Amino acid sequence: MSPEPAHTQDTARHHLSPVRVLDVDPLLDDPKTRIVVCCGSGGVGKTTTAAALGLRAAERGRKVVVLTIDPARRLAQSMGIDSLDNTPRRVKGVDGDGELHAMMLDMKRTFDEIVEAHADGERAAAILNNPFYQSLSAGFAGTQEYMAMEKLGQLRARDQWDLIVVDTPPSRSALDFLDAPKRLGSFLDGRLIRLLTAPAKLGGRAGMKFLNVGMSMMTGTLGKLLGGQLLKDVQTFVAAMDTTFGGFRTRADATYRLLQAPGTAFLVVAAPERDALREAAYFVERLAAEDMPLAGLVLNRVHGSGAARLSAERALAAAENLVEPRIVDQDGGKAGVRNSPDTYGSSESPASEFAEPPASETDSPGPDQEDEGAQSVERLTAGLLRLHAERMQLLSREQRTRDRFTALHPEVAVAEVAALPGDVHDLVGLRDIGDRLAANRPELPESVVD
C-alpha cells in the first residue's frame, strides 16, 4: 500500500478543517477596522484572544488599545504591567512600528466620570455621596456591561487609537453585553424613575400634594420593602440625576449604533464544547438579528494528535492484547525454576536450589528479571495506548460538536487555536497565540501563490 500524503499525517486540526476559514490578518490590517469586540461565554479565553489580537495588530503597525473587563488581571500580567486601571497604559516590548496600550475597566470610576461630566459641581457631589448611587454604581445588575459600552464610546470619541480591541465582561451570558445599555437606560428612563422624580419637578405645594396623594400607597409599599431611609435615598438620587437621564439613553443609543457600524467587527470566542458553542450560536443569531458585523468564530483549545491515524478502537484493542493473561506461555517455559513440576524427581538435591550461582550468572539478569522487565514495558505501552484512545475520543467529541455548529451556521468563518500545555503569561505567549490564529489562513490557488 502506498503511503498517505503528508498532509493527512498532520494533527487533527486539518482533520477538523472548518467550512470557512477566518483569516485575522486582513481584518487587523484594514484601516477601516476601528473596533474589534471579543465576546462569548465565560472561561473560553476571551481575554487572551483579545490581548493576542491587540499585540499582533500593534506589531503590524497599528496603534492599539485593549480594553479588558476581566477582574482576574491576567491581561496585565501577560503584558508585563504591574496593574491596569481606567487609564490606558503603554505596553513595552512590542516589536514593529505600532503601539500597544492596555486598560482595565473601573466600573465605578467610569460611572463617576459620567456624573462629573454631566452635572455641575454641587449636583455631582450630591450624587456621588448618595448611598443609593454608591450601591448602583458598584453592583447594579448590568452596570458593568453598560460602563464597558460607555468606556468604548469614550475611547472611540477621542480618535487617539487606530484600533480598539474590547474584551467583554465575563458574564453568565454573552448577550448581556448587548442588552445592558438598553436595560440600564430603560431603568433610568422608566415609569418608576419618572414617578419618583415627579415631586421634585413639580416643586412647592403642588409637588407635596402629588407626593401625598399620588405616592402615598407606593411609598408605603416601597418603604416596607426597601426601608424608609433607602426610599428617601432613591428619591434624592433620582432628583439629582434628573438632568442626566436623557444623556444615558442618548449615549447608549449612540454606542449601539457604533457597534452596528462597518468599522466594527465581532469575534465570537468559544471552546469546542457543547455549552460554549451553544452560547456562541445564540450570539451569532443575535448579532444577525441586530445587524451587527460578525467577522467569525475563534475556536480555542482545540486538541490534536500527531498519531491521528491510530483510532481509539485500535489503540484500546492493542492495549488489551498486551495485558491480557496468556493461557499458554509463549516464552521458553519455567523449567528449572523452584516449585516448577519439572524439578520434581530430578537428580539435583533440594539444597542445590539455594546454592549461590556462578559468578557469570550474576553478571546478567535471569529469566525472571527479563520477564518482569518485559511485562513493565508492556504495561507502560498499554497505558500510553489507553491515553491515546482517550485523546482520540476527545477529538471525536470536539469534531462532532464543531460540525453541528458549522452545519447550523455555514456562513460563519472559523479560526482554530490548538490547546496549549499551560497558561499564557507573557508577550511571547501572546505572540504565539497570534501566530496560531494567523496560521488558519485559507490556502490560495496555485496561480495566486505563484
Is 404 among the domain residues? no
Is 345 among the domain residues? no
H/E element, 412: none
Tens-digit pLDDT profile for residues 303-360: 887 777 888 888 788 878 887 755 334 444 444 444 444 444 444 444 444 445 555 5
Q: What is the CB neighbour count within 10 angstroms for residue 182?
A: 15
Strands of 163-167's sheet in order across: 89-90, 99-104, 63-68, 163-167, 35-39, 264-270, 294-302, 414-418
Place of cell 428617601: 232
Q: Where are the beta strands (DSSP E) in 218-353?
A: 264-270, 294-302
Is 113 among the domain residues? yes
Give the mean model confidence (pLDDT) for residues 16-32: 84
Number of folded domains that form the chain: 1
Tens-digit pLDDT profile for residues 43-75: 888 889 999 999 999 999 999 999 987 666 777
Is 419 among the domain residues? yes
pTM for this entry:
0.72
Is 196 among the domain residues? no
Domain range for 51 is 9-189+244-306+409-438
Give the mean model confidence (pLDDT) for residues 413-427: 86
Is 102 among the domain residues? yes
Give the mean model confidence (pLDDT) for residues 149-169: 89
Backbone angles phi and psi of 61, in degrees to 5: 110, 5
Tell me, what's the pLDDT at 267? 95
CA dist 306 and 276 (Å) reads 26
Q: Where are the beta strands (DSSP E) in 108-177?
A: 163-167
Q: Domain of 86: which CATH number?
A: 3.40.50.300
Is 47 among the domain residues? yes
| Rounded to 5°, angle at Cα 148 from 144 and 151 | 135
Is 172 among the domain residues? yes
